[in-house]
């Protein structure tokens, strides 16, 4: 007799039916609903009782997977570090024929929420305003990301000072872009790709790198 598959709440699929009754939930379910609350309402609203109500289960289910609320919050931070920082670092380190291609690899993180979740990133930054330990982790994440971007420029023969400055300009622009919550159509953003690349890199943009990125970005657009 086959086991009944446990439904999973997925943040990116709001059409998925909610869990009801005495259905057992997974650790991922608790993390997903907690992430939703963190992004939409803030860390202060992550409460075991209210999460259990959202999942339609008893709060005792929570303790199968987490020791306490602090354990859950730590799991959320670890997920953020893996999803956002480690993925971004990996993209910056991908082999590339030109600095245009390398920069486009970095840009892929910001058109594909599977690679980098801006909402989650800013929710953690907001959390850090009230928690010095989380502030330290944000600072470390920013340093790690900037180091990866600097190395990206260094691999394409930029001088160390130039590489560091360009890494900061590129990173702060991209984070600021999402902080402003700009609502541009993807085609509008892509129309500026050549100018952005030349401004960030100081070199003529590679048309093939732009076209490859364009096709990837459009494939992610709804």
**Residue 14: band (very low, low, confident or very high) from pLDDT cuts 50, 70, 90:** very low
**Residue 200: band (very low, low, confident or very high) from pLDDT cuts 50, 70, 90:** very high
pLDDT of residue 51: 95
- Please state, rounded to an integer, the average pLDDT across all residues of the chain: 89
Domain 1-66 fold:
Arc Repressor Mutant, subunit A (1.10.10)
Average pLDDT for residues 169-173, to the nearest whole number?
Answer: 96
How many residues comprise the chain?
222
Q: Is the predicted pLDDT of residue 192 greater than 70, yes or no?
A: yes
Q: Is the predicted pLDDT of residue 19 greater than 70, yes or no?
A: no
- Which sequence spans correspond to the domains of the chain? 1-66, 69-220
Task: Convert the chain into a string of H (helix), E (strand) and C (coil).
Answer: CCCCCCCCCCCCCCCCCCCCCCCCCCHHHHHHHHHHHHHHHCHHHCCHHHHHHHHCCCHHHHHHCCCCHHHHHHHHHHHHHHHHHHHHHHHHCCCCCCHHHHHHHHHHCCCCCCCCCHHHHHHHHHHHCCCHHHHHHHHHHHHHHHHHHHHHHHHCCCCHHHHHHHHHHHHHHHHHHHHCCCCCCHHHHHHCHHHHHHHHHCCCCCHHHHHHHHHHHHHHCC
Pairwise pLDDT comparison (56 vs 181), residue with the higher score: 56
Average pLDDT for residues 24-34, to the nearest whole number?
Answer: 91
CA angle 143, 145, 151 (to 5 degrees): 100
Pairwise pLDDT comparison (11 vs 145), residue with the higher score: 145
The per-residue pLDDT for range 96-132, each reduced to its tens digit, is: 999 999 999 999 999 998 899 999 999 999 999 999 9
* Spacing of C-alpha 194 from chain mean position: 24
Q: Cβ distance 68 to 170 under 8 Å?
A: no
**Whole-number percent of the chain with pLDDT over 70:** 89
**Residue 12: band (very low, low, confident or very high) from pLDDT cuts 50, 70, 90:** very low
pLDDT of residue 222: 66
- The C-alpha atoms of residue 81 and residue 47 are separated, in whole angstroms, by 22
Q: Is the predicted pLDDT of residue 16 greater than 70, yes or no?
A: no
pLDDT of residue 179: 82
pTM of the model: 0.85
């Amino acid at each position: 007799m086959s086991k009944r598959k446990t439904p999973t709440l997925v943040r990116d699929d709001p059409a998925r039916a909610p869990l009801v009754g005495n259905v057992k939930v997974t650790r991922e379910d608790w993390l997903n609903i907690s992430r939703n609350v963190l992004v939409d309402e803030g860390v202060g609203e992550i409460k075991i009782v209210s999460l259990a109500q959202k999942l339609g289960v008893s709060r005792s289910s929570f303790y199968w997977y987490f020791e306490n609320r602090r354990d859950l919050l730590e799991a959320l931070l670890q997920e953020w570090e893996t999803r956002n920082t480690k993925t971004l670092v990996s993209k910056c380190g991908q082999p590339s024929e030109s600095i245009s291609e390398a920069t486009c690899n970095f840009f892929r993180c910001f058109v594909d929420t599977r690679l980098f979740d801006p909402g989650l990133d800013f929710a953690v930054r907001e959390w850090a305003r009230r928690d010095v330990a989380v502030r330290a982790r944000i600072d470390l994440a920013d340093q790690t990301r900037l180091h990866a971007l600097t190395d990206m420029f260094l691999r394409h023969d930029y001088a160390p000072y130039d590489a560091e400055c360009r890494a900061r300009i590129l990173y702060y622009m991209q984070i600021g872009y999402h902080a402003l919550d700009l609502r541009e159509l993807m085609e509008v953003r892509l129309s500026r790709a050549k100018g952005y690349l030349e401004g960030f890199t100081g070199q003529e943009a590679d048309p093939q790198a732009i076209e490859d990125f364009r096709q990837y970005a459009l494939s992610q657009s709804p």
